[in-house]
Structure 1
C-alpha cells in the first residue's frame, strides 16, 4: 500500500492540461519529461517526489495528441482564453519511479500507455539526444476541492517546475486509482521497459 501525504511545499510540475486530465482520470500513470527550454540545468531533474500538477494550455497541439483524446483536449480548452486570470489546481502526484530511457523501441512499446502521438514522443526523445527521457510513474490524488490560483508572471515560460506563490490549503484528497489498480498498471508498464 502507498501512503499519500499532500505535498509539503508549493512545488508544482507544469504539464499540458490534457495530460493532467488523463493523469487525473486514471487514463495514464506515466508522463515523460526532458526539461523545459529555460531550465537552469538545461535538463530535467526530479526536484521532489510529491508535487502539485499545474495545467498549461498555451502549447497544447491536437496533432501531438492521439485522436482518441481530442475530445479531452477540447474539454480542457472550453472557456479558456490566453488572458485567463486563474488556473485550477485539482491534483497532486507522488512519483513512485523515475525510469531513464534512451531506447526508441521501448518508447514505441509505451504507446498504449499514454495519450501522445508517436511524433510527440519522438520529439521529446530526440531533443537533447544524449540526455535520457524520464518516464515518471505518477500516483495521482484528486483534491476534494479544486483551488483556483491567480496566474502570476512567475508561472509563465518553458520551465518544468515552479513554486506556487500562495500556499495550497491542506484539504482532503482521494487517490485516482486504488492501490491494486495502480500497482497492476505499474507492473504492466515496467514489464515493457525491461
Structure 2
C-alpha cells in the first residue's frame, strides 16, 4: 500500500488515468507542460494522485481506449468538480533520447505513435521522460470541487488533504507478479 503524506495530483489525460488505475498499463510518457519552468519537466513527487484532464479529441489520439472508460468532462472553464479513481508511486524514471527505444514501448501504453512522436520531438531536445509507476485504485471515487488553481498546462497540482486517507486504503491495480513482469520488460528495453 502506498504511504501518502501529501495530497499532490499529477495531471494526465483522463483515459491514461483510467488505464493506470485499471492496471492496463504501468508507465507514463511525459514531455512536460508549458508552465514547467526553465528546467522543464521533473518528477518532483514519488507519490501522487492521478488527476484526470480532458479535451474532446483525446480518444482520437490513443491506440485504444481503456475498458470501462466512462469519462465525460465539459471544457475546463466549465468544470465544477474533479473525480479521482487512483494514485501511484514512482518506481523508476528514464530520460530517453533514442526514438527506437521509445517506439519499442508501444505495446506497453495506450498513446498512438503520432502523439508519442510529437511529444518526443516537441522542442530542441528530442527526448521523453519515461516513468515506471505502480498504480493503485482508491476504495471509492474521490470527488471534490474544481478550483482554478488546477487549470493550465502544468503537471503538478495541490489537492485537498482528505485524499491521503483514501490512498491508505488503495489496492494495487495489478498483482505483484504482473508488475514485476512489466518492470522487467521496461528495463530490458530502456536499460
TM-score with structure 1 length normalisation? 0.88
- Aligned pairs for 1:1-194 (under 5 A) are 4-41=1-38, 43-58=40-55, 60-66=57-63, 68-69=64-65, 75-77=70-72, 80-82=73-75, 83-130=78-125, 132-171=127-166, 172-194=169-191
Distance 2:68 2:113 in 1: 18
Which runs of structure 1 show a deviation greater than 3 angstroms over 4 or more consecutive aligned residues? 70-73
Greater alpha carbon shift after TM alignment, 53-62 vs 86-95: 53-62
- Does the CA-based 8 Å contact 2:6-2:161 persist in structure 1? no
Distance 2:45 2:121 in 1: 25
Q: Name the SS of the counterpart of 2:152 in structure 1.
A: coil
Greater alpha carbon shift after TM alignment, 52-61 vs 156-165: 52-61
TM-score with structure 2 length normalisation? 0.90
Distance 2:95 2:55 in 1: 27
Q: Name the SS of the counterpart of 1:76 in structure 2.
A: coil
Please list the CA deviations of residues 148-172 of structure 1 after superposition, one character each: whole Å capped at 9, or x if unmatched: 0111000000001111144325031
Greater alpha carbon shift after TM alignment, 119-128 vs 161-170: 161-170
Q: Once superposed, what is the RMSD of the aligned Cα atoms?
A: 1.9
Q: Which runs of 5+ in 1 are unaligned?
A: none
Q: Which runs of 5+ in 2 are unaligned?
A: none
Shift of 1:143: 1.0
